Structure 1
Amino acid sequence: MMHFGPIHKLIVFSLLFLACSPSQVDEKPSKVIVFIADGAGVEQWTLAHFANANLAVGQMPVAGLMDTRGSNHEVSASGPTATAIATGTRSFIGAVGVGPDSLPRESLLEIAHRQDWGTGLITTTSITDATPASFAAHVPSRTQRIEILKQMIDLPVNVLLGGGSRMMQVIESQDLIEIQTLIEDRYTYTEDLLELKMLSQDSTANNILGLFSPGEMAMALQGRSPSLAEMTAAGIDILERHPNGFFLLIENEGSDTYAHRNLGRDVLTAEMLHFDEAIRIALSYQEKHPETLVVVTSDHETGGISLRGDEDRNIVMEYATTSHTAALVPLFAKGPGADRLGGLKRNDQVGKILASLMDFSSD
Structure 2
Amino acid sequence: MKQRFLHIWLIFFIIIFSIFPTLQVHAEKNAEVKNVIFMIPDGFSASYATNYRLYKGKEAVWDTMLVGMHRTYSANTPVTDSAAAATAMATGFKTNNGMISIAPDGKKIKTILEVAKEARKGTGLVATSTITYATPAAFGAHVISRKDESEIAVQYLDNEIDVLLGGGKTYFTSLLESGKQKGYEIVTNKTELSNVKMPQKLLGLFAIEGMVPELDRHLTSEPSLEEMTKVALKMLNQNKAGFFLMVEGSQIDWAGHDNDPAWAMKDIEAFEKAVEIAVDFAKKDKNTLVVIAGDHDNGGMSVGAYDKYDAKLDVLRKVKSSGRYMEMQLDKNRSNAKEILKKHAGIDLTKAEVKRIEQADKPVIAINRIVSERALIGWTTSQHTGVDIPVYAFGPGSELFKGLHDNTDLPKMMAKVMGVNFP
Same fold by TM-score greater than 0.5: yes
Partner of 1:318: 378
Which stretches in structure 2 are left out of the alignment for 5+ residues?
1-24, 313-375
Whole-angstrom CA distance in 2 between matches of 1:133 and 1:311? 42
Q: How far is 1:308 from its partner?
A: 2.2
Counterpart CA distance in 1 for 2:283 and 2:277 is 10
Distance 1:325 1:311 in 2: 23
Residues 264-315 of structure 1: CA deviation (Å, up to 9, x unaligned)? x322111111111100010111110110000001111000111125646334
Instruction: Give the equivalent residue in structure 2 for 1:357.
Output: 417
Q: Which has the higher strand share?
A: 1
> How many Å separate the matches in 2 of 1:352 and 1:73?
22
Task: State the alpha-carbon separation in 1 of the partners of residues 259 and 382 from structure 2.
Answer: 6
Q: Tell me, yes or no, if structure 1 residue 290 matches structure 2 residue 286.
A: yes
Aligned pair in 2 of structure 1 residues 63, 361: CA closer, same or farther (>3 Å)?
closer
Question: In the alignment, residue 322 of structure 1 is paired with which amino acid?
Answer: S
Q: Give the whole-Å Cα distance in 1 for the aligned partners of 2:82 and 2:404.
A: 20
Map of 1:250 onto structure 2: 247
**Which residue does the alignment assign to 1:14?**
none
Which of these two proteins has the greater Rg computed from alpha carbons? 2
Match of residue 157 from structure 1: 161
The structure whose RCO (Cα within 8 Å, separation 6+) is larger is 1
| Per-residue deviation, 1:181 | 4.3
Q: CA 1:287–1:352 in 2, change beyond 3 Å: closer, same or farther?
A: same
1:344, distance to aligned residue in structure 2 (A): 0.7
- Equivalent of 1:56 in 39, 54, 61: 61
Paired residue type of 1:267:
W
Hey, what's the Cα distance between the residues in 1 that align with 2:421 and 2:379? 46
- The answer on whether the counterparts of 1:190 and 1:209 sit within 8 Å (CA) in structure 2 is yes
- The 2-side partners of 1:103 and 1:359 are apart by 25
CA distance in 1, matches of 2:141, 2:104: 15
Identify the residue that residue 264 of structure 2 maps to in structure 1: 268
Helix, strand or coil for the counterpart of 2:120?
coil
Aligned-residue offset at 1:28 = 4.7
Cα distance between partner residues in 1 of 2:273 and 2:383 = 26
- Structure-2 separation of matches of 1:23 and 1:345: 26
Q: Is the Cα–Cα contact under 8 Å of residues 23 and 339 in structure 1 kept in the other structure? A: no
For residues 309 and 78 of structure 2, what CA distance do their matches in structure 1 show?
Answer: 36
Report if the CA contact (8 A) 1:32-1:293 is conserved.
yes
- Aligned position for 2:369: none
Contact 1:56 1:276 in 2 (8 A): yes
When residues 26 and 285 of structure 1 are mapped into structure 2, their CA distance, relative to the original with a 3 A threshold, is closer
Gaps in structure 1 of 5+ consecutive residues = 1-20, 172-178
The structural deviation recorded for 1:118 is 0.7
Asked if structure 1 preserves the Cα contact closer than 8 Å seen for 2:46 and 2:389, the reply is yes
The letter for the 2-side match of 1:318 is: G
> 2:86 aligns to what?
82
Q: TM-score, normalised by structure 2?
A: 0.74
Deviation at 1:195, TM superposition (A): 1.5
Q: Provide the rounded CA distance (Å) in 2 between the counterparts of 1:355 and 1:246.
A: 12
Pair 1:217-2:211 in alignment: yes
1:358 Cα deviation from its structure 2 partner: 2.5
Question: What does 1:181-220 align with in structure 2 at a 5 Å threshold?
Answer: 181-186=177-182, 187-199=184-196, 202-203=197-198, 205-220=199-214
Give the equivalent residue in structure 2 for 1:95.
99
- Report how many aligned residue pairs link the two structures: 329
Aligned CA distance change for structure 1 residues 276 and 25 (closer, same or farther; 3 Å)? same
* Residues 163 and 212, structure 1, Cα contact 8 Å, conserved in 2: yes
Name the aligned partner's letter for residue 152 of structure 2: I
Kindly report the root-mean-square deviation, in angstroms, between the aligned alpha carbons of the 2 structures.
1.9
After superposition, the Cα gap between the structure-2 partners of 1:305 and 1:241, relative to the gap in structure 1 and judged at 3 Å, is same
Residue among 373, 386, 390 paired with 1:330: 390
> CA 1:312/1:68 → structure 2, altered by over 3 Å: closer, same or farther?
closer
Native 8 Å contact 1:102 1:139 kept in 2: no
Deviates more, 1:314-323 or 1:51-60: 51-60
**1:108-166, CA deviations, whole angstroms, 9 ceiling, x for partnerless residues?**
11111001111000000101001000001011111111111111111100000000112
How far did residue 26 of structure 1 move?
5.3
**Which residue number corresponds to residue 11 of structure 2?**
none
Tell me: CA distance 1:181–1:233, structure 2 relative to 1, closer, same or farther (3 Å).
same
More divergent stretch after superposition (105-114 vs 44-53)? 44-53
Q: Which secondary structure does the structure 2 equivalent of 1:104 belong to?
A: coil
Q: Which amino acid aligns with 1:195?
A: E
C-alpha distance in 2, partners of 1:348/1:355? 12
Residue number in structure 2 paired with 1:11: none
Over 3 Å counting, the alpha-carbon distance change for 1:313 and 1:180 in structure 2 is closer
Residue equivalent to 1:229: 226
Q: Which is richer in helix?
A: 2
Q: What are the superposed Cα offsets for residues 155-183 of structure 1, whole Å, 9 maximum, x if unpaired?
A: 100000000112234x3xxxxxxx44431
Instruction: Indicate the percent of aligned positions where both proteins have the same amino acid.
Output: 32
What code does the residue aligned with 1:154 have? D
Q: Which amino acid letter does the alignment assign opposite residue 355 of structure 1? A: A
Task: Tell me which residue corresponds to 1:104.
Answer: 108
SS of aligned partner of 1:80: helix
SS state of the match for residue 280, structure 2?
helix
Distance 1:222 1:207, change over 3 A: same
